[in-house]
Amino acid sequence: MSREICRNYDESDVTCESCILNKVQNHNSCYKPVKKEQKTAMQNNVNTDKINPSHYKSESGRECIDELRLMFGDEQVKAFCRCNAYKYRFRAGRKQSESAETDLAKAEWYLNYLEKLEKGEV
């Protein structure tokens, strides 16, 4: 069985930021090349927060969900939060790489964010 390799992956010099942050084995969703010397530094600084990991922030530090609000509006993001909470509850304990506890914590994060949106706290 062949592996898909990202166009940025070069074992001797370059890998991609997405693969480092997500600890991807199949480099098929890469987007940003990183030089070899940067790779070690990034691997040492990877955010291990499974609920709100660092790859959900832009280079400017803005959270993805905040950009979603700017692009689609609060009502769409509320629906997104409801759907994600449902998804994480539904799959809790079924995905090999995630524990049921992690999925339930993610669902809780989305419900908390939804509540803050509805109260105008964010």
Could you tell me if 58 and 106 lie in one domain?
Answer: yes
Could you tell me if 31 and 60 lie in one domain?
Answer: no
pLDDT at 86 over 80: yes
Could you tell me if 34 and 88 lie in one domain?
Answer: no
Least trusted range by pLDDT, from 49-58, 99-108, 112-121: 49-58
pTM (predicted TM-score): 0.59
What is the count of structural domains for the chain? 2
First to last CA, the chain: 47
Length of the chain: 122
Q: What digits encode the pLDDT tens for the residues 18-68?
A: 555 555 554 444 445 555 555 555 555 444 567 777 777 888 888 999 999
pLDDT at 82 over 70: yes
Residue 73's domain comprises 54-119
Could you tell me if 68 and 91 lie in one domain?
Answer: yes
Could you tell me if 94 and 72 lie in one domain?
Answer: yes
Predicted pLDDT of residue 59 = 82
CA pair distance 105, 92, nearest whole angstrom: 10
Helix (H) or strand (E) holding 35: strand 33-35
Whether the CB-CB separation of 21 and 33 falls below 8 Å is answered with no
Could you tell me if 5 and 62 lie in one domain?
Answer: no
pLDDT at 3 over 90: no
- Residue range 113-120: mean pLDDT, rounded: 96
Could you tell me if 41 and 80 lie in one domain?
Answer: no
Could you tell me if 35 and 61 lie in one domain?
Answer: no
Could you tell me if 112 and 60 lie in one domain?
Answer: yes
Could you tell me if 68 and 114 lie in one domain?
Answer: yes
